[in-house]
Amino acid sequence: MTGGASPDYEGSDDYEFGFAPYIGISWRDRIFYRGKSLGANLFKGNNFKAGPILSWTSGRNEDDNDRLEGLGDVDGSVEAGGFVSYRSKSLRFKLEARQDIDSGHEGALVELSGSTTLPIKSHRVLLSLGTTWASADYMESFFGINNKQSANSGLRTYDADAGFKDVSISLATGYSITERWRIGGKIQYLRLLGDAADSPIVDDENQFIAGISLVYYMGSKALLKTVD
């Protein structure tokens, strides 16, 4: 189970709290399902993995916030793509590219992240840096305003081009209550960039996300090592 606070939409200065179940499953470290993503480690080497991935991404409803009134909804999307990851004892790197295949935002995203474990003895704290590149279709869906939307909302028309959408930094930690129960927490700061930050619907380019989780691990000890 996970819960936390996040902006009403990308660029909002209003925040909402929500919670949802989280499921993580791994089969022989080959097939995995985590949250809203299904993938396969088709290629494996020393600290290296790569393969296809299928993800579900939430859309946006115009009734999520008064600022969005007249812009219409952006449907949720099924995204297909691939990933490459590297993981050592203290470092992690991941590159993931996905394209909408379900007529939601109809765009593509490329996410790059790197993480390291901080040298704190009492708790394991993970420091992560990340950035996201978005295609023109994605940017137009979430940050652009066409003539019809402008007439309905009163906002000026705006063309959002492809480019780096954001950069982020986060801290995450966890504590094992028992062998199978674990509690965790995460805070993230995200800064919108370029055409995303300049969009008329963006009230604050500085975005904050905070969350907590309560996790119960099922299966054998060998399985537990592959779920994280």
Q: Predicted confidence band at 60 (pLDDT cuts at 50, 70, 90)?
A: very high
Phi, psi of 68 (to 5 degrees): -95, 0
**Total domains in the fold of the chain:** 1
CB atoms near residue 64 (< 10 Å): 17
Q: Quick one: pLDDT at residue 219?
A: 61
Angstrom CA distances, 190 to 42, 62, 201, 213, stand at 31, 22, 17, 20
Determine which of 85-99, 161-175, 209-223 has the lowest per-residue pLDDT on average: 209-223
User: How much of the chain exceeds pLDDT 70, in percent?
Assistant: 95
From CA 26, how far away is CA 29, in angstroms rounded?
A: 6
For 142, the domain range is 2-227
- Torsion of the alpha carbons at 115, 60, 153 and 137, rounded to the nearest 10: 70
Q: What is the mean pLDDT of residues 100-119?
A: 93
Tokens linked to 207 = 């975005």
Indicate which CATH number applies to the domain containing 47: 2.40.160.40
Q: Predicted confidence band at 220 (pLDDT cuts at 50, 70, 90)?
A: low
pLDDT (tens digit per residue) in 170-217: 999 988 888 888 899 999 999 999 999 999 999 999 999 999 988 887
For residue 121, pLDDT beyond 80: no
Q: What is the mean pLDDT of residues 9-19?
A: 93
Radius of gyration of the chain (CA): 19
